[in-house]
Structure 1
Amino acid sequence: MFKIFGILALLLSNVAYATNLGEPDLTNTWVGIISLFIFVVGYYVIANEEKYEIDKSVPALFVGIFTFLLIAIYFVTNNLDIKLVHEEAENVILEIAEIFFFLFVAMTYIESLLHMGVFDRLKYNLVSKGYSYRKLFWLTGLLSFFISPFADNLTTALILSTVLFTIEREKKEFLVPGAINIVVAANAGGAWSPFGDITTLMVWTSGKGNFLDFLYLFPSSILGYLATAFLLSLAVPKTKPIFDNEVEVPQMKEGAKTIIFLGAVTIIMAVISHQVLDFPAMWGMMFGLVLLKAYSFKLQKKFGKSHFDVFQSMAKIENNTLMFFFGILSAVGALYFLGWLTLASVVYEPSYLGPIYSNIAVGFLSAIVDNVPVMSAILKANPNMDLSNWLLVTLTAGIGGSLISFGSAAGVGVMGKLKGIYTFSSHMKYAWMILVGYFISVGIWYFQFEMLKIY
């Protein structure tokens, strides 16, 4: 354990040496040092959201926006090429836009399904069968693991956390482990699919492995997840949710099934948009929003405006979650531009850490910062690794985000859905269980790839 954290510290101490040719290294300047300090303070405030009673989006936005302003001031006062900052800001905006609109459409569909009574009916079907909290825990977790490879980890986590919250709204001993279970399952499920997680997609599109190569990560992903899920399940009560046999069976509104179908079509369009047409995935999602709007117009003509209004669904979206993503992606973009996030390819050399220990440490780094810029930095550094180690870093970057509540998009999304229940502090109480699963996944990878050479 101490060796891994020592490796992580060494990684962080060497990031300044990895800037590509033509990119400024500002880590030793006043703007580099102040920006890192602001990020650390902002991270602390985000992590202690409950203590300071301030929404996590506020410090995230401040750090992201203010650090870029500091960088611009530094370039102007030192007569440097301000176009470099302009181009970097545009790249960050493009990255934010792709995630922002993807989230926007996903959340709109979820709110629409809530309005149409889909989740109330699902809750009734689950609870009326007499399932205990522990069985419901396993059911939602397994669904999360097997849906995320085909949708994506964020959308999957948002949908199933909504189901979780409709089953039970107060019992934290069920909700907190259940939320963690969904996040861990979504991240683990997305790690073995080329389009199940954005970092996996980045490695695949960079040509580091073929489509089928990533499927070899399935044993590591599922066994690590099952280990964590088993430990979490021990904290879930065996009792059953209260069910009133005399309660009226909730009925879905007219058109609900069509909206479910349109949601599935939207996910398929997002995959086709990126994989076939080489468009951002959000382009397919936005097309799905167009379909939803058109269908909303049809329902209003037939049943009246109160039946379903897509704009009311948009108004109910957790905007603080979207703003958090805007701020945190801006912040990590600024740190990357300054040179703090660029991992030196030298640490992957056998004379230093070597690829295996470096890639294990990447999982911890992706939890602390964000797996997207970390993976981007690794791909730009392009260390000399074989297929097995590129798959290892894909695995660790994906599942490492589960170690901290906001270390992954799935975690942040669930924090927004279960605000005040699933928090940083509540997550950290069970973090050791996630850590056990993390090392089991790495151990399975080592046994399969390094000892048996099965890949």
Structure 2
Amino acid sequence: MSFAGVPIDFILFALTLAGVALFHHHTLAVALTGLAAIALFKLGFGDFGGVAGVPGLWKLLGHEWVTVANLLGLLLGFALLSDHFERSGLPALLPRFLPDDWKGGFCLLLLVFVLSSFLDNIAAAMIGGSMAAVLYRRRVHIGFLAGIVAASNAGGSGSVVGDTTTTMMWIAGVRPGQVFEAYAAAVTAMLIFGVFAARQQHALQPIMKDNPEGASVDSARLGIVAVILLAAMGANIFFNLRDASVLDRVPVIGIAVWLAIGLTSAWRRPTWSLLPGAFRGSMFLLALVMCAAMMPVQKLPAASWQTALGLGFVSAIFDNIPLTALALRQGGYDWGFLAYAVGFGGSMVWFGSSAGVALANMYPEARSVGAWLKAGWHIALAYVIGFFVLLAVLGWHPDAPVAPSAPSHTTSP
């Protein structure tokens, strides 16, 4: 069924996204209402990947449950991790090493960028948010929050272990060097939005110039942070190298994170009271992920650099996992361009990536689409400039199709 040539599914999804943008104080209710409306419409009048009714819905859930479980495990687990990091006392010692002016904020964003090249982008963003909370006495500009999310997404876009989409490409046969090319665009974008975001933050609240008196590091909490991060990285790399199909069947990365949290809880007790708030934010993202999974997207436009550029804007509101899977099945892309587009593009809206949703759980004021777009205008500018720098420097060199199908497991959208 369609209206004016547009499938009703897409209209319902668009209304859901509009509701999120307009009613940013009720995002969870809007997302769950949209999910229910789309599911009921497809049960009554549509299908799920060609299978109608409850069997189709059950098949979809069977396909997506690993994605959902991994995301939930990571978002909740990294909420506890960021609290451990903040309470470790290390952020309070950073003024000793960071410049006192706007360049201190730029260095913080650069640190997030580097961390995300080998860590999950959710973890990198939340660590960045924890550092910002201390260094700026919790007065953080929304433009700087957008910069933290953008730095985490840009940093992971050129590494096959830095983002779920690039890991999917790696499993499908794309060489790490092809993905690494994305850094030509990502570094360019970082230099642009990083300067604007750091200056916005400095104008609102200058960085802490001196360490608080008596500041010290709790090495046990830092050790717990390291154990949790190593568990996530180790599970991801181990199964990708040994048997990547396991990642499609079992949410091993989320399980690894929670095993690490459980084993280290006797060392330092996590702040369990953070979980209810983190759970509500996580349910919002998972509702949008499931809405996107139910959209009847079977094919992308013909592969070209123009299509890749457009996918970056689409990924700001649409889950980038199915977009990447479709691109891998279709083939014909220059994978460095695609990695940058779908990885960094989600930074343009706060709910466009799991890193943005995770950071919005820490800073609820970031949940306004209007405020994010107004304060984070430099993200879209940096995205476009970075893309065309990549095009000018390396050129568009598409590959043939690399696989008949693509894995769907995820650590973050």
Report TM bin, short chain.
0.7 to 0.9
Residue 342 of structure 1: which of 286, 295, 298 is its match? 298
Instruction: Give the structure 1 partner of residue 133 of structure 2.
Output: 165
Instruction: Give the structure 1 partner of residue 148 of structure 2.
Output: 182
Please list, as runs of the form range in 1=range in 2, the aligned pairs for 1:397-436 lying within 5 A after superposition: 397-421=342-366, 423-436=368-381
* SS of match in other structure, 1:369: coil
Instruction: Give the structure 2 partner of residue 237 of structure 1.
Output: 202
In 2, Cα distance between equivalents of 1:89 and 1:262: 32
Instruction: Give the structure 2 partner of residue 20 of structure 1.
Output: none
CA deviation after TM superposition for structure 1 residue 81, in Å: 6.3
Aligned residues, how many?
389
Q: 1:171 to 1:356 in 2, by over 3 A?
A: same
CA deviation after TM superposition for structure 1 residue 188, in Å: 0.9
1:397 partner amino acid: V
CA deviation after TM superposition for structure 1 residue 75, in Å: 6.0
Q: 1:244 to 1:376 in 2, by over 3 A?
A: closer
Instruction: Give the structure 2 partner of residue 439 of structure 1.
Output: 384
Instruction: Give the structure 2 partner of residue 95 of structure 1.
Output: 67
Instruction: Give the structure 1 partner of residue 38 of structure 2.
Output: 67
Whether 1:328 and 2:288 are equivalent positions in the alignment is: yes
User: Residues 162-212 of structure 1: CA distance to partner in whole angstroms, max 9, x if unpaired?
Assistant: 21122224534xx323211111111111110112111122222222x2122
In 2, Cα distance between equivalents of 1:224 and 1:365: 18
In 1, Cα distance between equivalents of 2:208 and 2:237: 43
Instruction: Give the structure 2 partner of residue 125 of structure 1.
Output: 93
CA deviation after TM superposition for structure 1 residue 142, in Å: 0.3
TM-score, structure 2 as length reference? 0.84
CA deviation after TM superposition for structure 1 residue 94, in Å: 2.6
In 2, Cα distance between equivalents of 1:75 and 1:428: 34
Contact 1:273 1:284 in 2 (8 A): no
Percentage identity across paired residues of the two chains: 19
Instruction: Give the structure 2 partner of residue 367 of structure 1.
Output: 316
Tell which deviates more after alignment, 188-197 or 215-224.
215-224
Contact 1:270 1:285 in 2 (8 A): no
Please list, as runs of the form range in 1=range in 2, the aligned pairs for 1:96-115 lying within 5 A after superposition: 96-114=68-86
1:67 partner amino acid: I
Instruction: Give the structure 1 partner of residue 189 of structure 2.
Output: 224
CA deviation after TM superposition for structure 1 residue 228, in Å: 1.9
Contact 2:232 2:254 in 1 (8 A): yes
Q: 1:84 to 1:262 in 2, by over 3 A?
A: same
CA deviation after TM superposition for structure 1 residue 429, in Å: 1.0
In 1, Cα distance between equivalents of 2:96 and 2:219: 23
Return 5+ residue gaps in structure 1 as ranges: 1-26, 300-307, 349-353
Whether 1:293 and 2:262 are equivalent positions in the alignment is: yes
CA deviation after TM superposition for structure 1 residue 334, in Å: 1.3
Q: 1:65 to 1:155 in 2, by over 3 A?
A: farther
* SS of match in other structure, 2:395: helix
Bigger radius of gyration among the two: 1
TM-score, structure 1 as length reference? 0.76
User: Residues 127-166 of structure 1: CA distance to partner in whole angstroms, max 9, x if unpaired?
Assistant: 4668435133112100111110101212111111121122
**Aligned CA-pair RMSD:** 3.0
Return 5+ residue gaps in structure 2 as ranges: 399-413
1:287 partner amino acid: A
